[in-house]
Chains A and B, each alone.
Chain A
Amino acid sequence: MAIRRGRGVAAINYPTGMNLGGDPTQALVHSTPTGNFMVTLSSVDLGQGMKQIMAQICAETIGVPTDRVIVDTADTDTGPHCMGTFASRGTHRAGNAVIQAAREARQVMLEVAAEELEVNASDLETDGQGNILVKGAPQRSISIFDVALSAHFKRGRSISGRGMFLIPRSYPEKETGAMKPSTCYAHACTVAEVEVDDETGEVTVLTVRNVFEIGRALNPKMVEQQLVGGSWMAISHALYETTEPYYPDRDHGGTDFNQYLMPGPGDLAQTEIIVLERPSADGPFGAKGPGEMCANPQIPAVANAVFDAVGVRIDTLPITPERILRALKAQASN
């Protein structure tokens, strides 16, 4: 009876979004009378940072600071259509829709500015600080604040735009069954080190080293935050969390969060996160979806590490001490 060490590796490809019958998201952008910009979406921010990312994308496209953009994700009854916040699709789908809407709004904004400055709209550029300048003659400029006031009160224009991003449905080929479920994939790889007590079946995760390839990180700190939390959640899934009973009778299952096991702050493995950025061809500014895949490769890596440590394959989650001991017993009797 001993504490045995093992190391396991696993790698994944993860599709951004899904494609069962087409995958659309719409966005609307309009200016307030004082030249702030409003993005209206039905996509939901549940803590992953949707609002911040959409504000950045809109601001970058229109040419204003991010704090001049307000994102309203309030109501799926009244907002433009979105398939939903799932499948790591938010940044990719909504981001592309926001770019299209913001481009259209920017065009109207430049047209109004052009009338005010008596030049062609194509001769104008933005400085990213809230001003519109004549290319090559930056002393001729107008603030976006004044452009919005002019549009609203003088020229009767709506500085607004509509955006729509659709990944059309992909049908399987008759002969081969091949289809294109996704247009863009994120990737990840994890190496996990564990200790397994072959007397008690207890697993301790020592280190979790992750590499994530996520397209371009539109907000690197928020990406890191997502990956750190996701890596922890995967360890929790690998070893602890289940709503099912360990025995075949459902009556032994948990009934509330009292009986739902999750690790606490004292059970953290040493975790390393490395981010690789390979911008995607069809993502907004090259982004992919880092959302869900951040909690995927750690689970098979831990299962492989357990195999490396004590030589048993556990193929049911979570990898509980009981499952390990049963497997060890079966192995010994073979």
Chain B
Amino acid sequence: MAKIPVQFMLNGAEKAEFIDSGTTLLNALRDKIGDTSPKGGCHQGTCGACSVIIDGELRLSCLTLAETCNGAAITTTSGLSQGGVLHPLQRAFLDAFATQCGFCTPGMLMAAKVLLDHTPDPSRDEVVEALSGNICRCTGYEPIIQAVLTAARSNSQNAA
């Protein structure tokens, strides 16, 4: 089968690859480009572990065809820290002990980032709603909810 070219910005850097038509963005990122931060939990849109941000919107990379991402700007968890400095959400997840096995963590971070980008000072219910597409086996969710609320508070303090 003929390969098709895709080209997009990944965490601020231009990426170009030849892929088989029908390749999911999740597989393209992990197997072709080598960004393994999005995780494949279910490969059918139910767990949220593969979440990435495409042009500012939260997307499931397991249900997104890579060839539809031409020209898009994609953010993954690999792009959160800057020059070795953790993103406030990553810092808050660490401080709140909001990760155990870590498999859900990249998806949770992506969902939380999109929430805080749109709603810098969310209520607890808004945090719960934003995370409701992401499954976690280990933490019982409460530490994750607390981490997102803490990150929102630290963001607003920095802005003030």
A and B associate in one complex: yes
* A residues apposed to B, CB below 8 Å: 46-49, 221-222, 224-226, 228-233, 256-258, 262, 264-266, 268, 271
B44 touches A (CB below 8 Å): yes
Interchain residue pairs A-B with the least CB separation, the first 5: A232-B140, A47-B101, A47-B100, A265-B141, A225-B97
Residues of A within 8 A of B44 (CB): 256-258
The verdict on A268 contacting B140 (CB below 8 Å), with A47-B100, A221-B97, A257-B41 known, is: yes
Residues of B within 8 A of A231 (CB): 140
Kindly identify, within residues 87 to 139 of chain B, every residue whose CB is under 8 Å from any CB belonging to chain A.
97, 99-102, 127-129, 131-132, 134-135, 137-139
Please pick, from B41, B42, B100, B135, the residue contacting A48 in the complex, using a CB distance under 8 A. B100
Query: A262 to B139, alpha carbons, bound, how many Å?
Result: 13
Determine if B66 is an interface residue (Cβ-Cβ < 8 Å).
no
Residue pair B139, A228 in contact (C-beta under 8 Å): yes
In the complex, the answer to whether A257 meets B46 with C-beta atoms within 8 Å is: yes
B96: shortest Cβ distance to chain A, in Å?
9
Q: Do residues A271 and B42 form an inter-chain contact, with CB atoms below 8 A?
A: no
Specify the chain B residue showing the minimal Cβ separation from A262.
B135
* SS of B interface (majority): loop
Q: Is the interface of A mostly helix, strand, loop or mixed?
A: helix
Chain A residues within an 8 Å CB radius of B129: 266
The interface size of chain B toward A, counting residues with CB under 8 Å, comes to: 26
Knowing A257-B46, A257-B47, A258-B44 are in contact, say whether A266-B132 is a contact too (CB < 8 A): yes
Tell me, in angstroms, the Cα distance from A47 to B100 when the chains sit together: 4
Q: Please name the residue on chain A nearest to B103 by beta carbon.
A: A47
- Check B143 against A225 for contact (C-beta < 8 Å): yes
Contacts of A271 in B (CB 8 A): 140, 142
Q: Which residues of A contact B46 (CB under 8 A)?
A: 257-258
In the bound complex, CA of A269 to CA of B42 (Å)? 26
Contact A233 B137 (CB under 8 A): yes
Asked if residues A264 and B135 are in contact (CB atoms below 8 Å), the reply is yes
Of the candidates B132, B134, B135, B141, the one having the most CB atoms from chain A within 10 angstroms of its own CB is: B141
| Interface-centre pick from B47, B97, B137, B144 (highest chain A CB count, 10 A) | B97
- In the assembled complex, which residues on chain A have CB atoms less than 8 Å from the CB atom of B41? 257
Nearest Cβ on chain A to B101's Cβ, whole angstroms:
3
Question: Using Cβ atoms and an 8 Å threshold, which residues of chain B touch A229?
Answer: 100, 138-140, 143
Residues of B within 8 A of A265 (CB): 127-128, 131-132, 134, 141, 144-145
A225/B141 in contact, CB under 8 A: no
Are A257 and B42 CB-contacts (below 8 A) given A222-B97, A229-B139, A271-B140? Answer: yes
Inter-chain contact B141/A264, CB cutoff 8 Å: yes
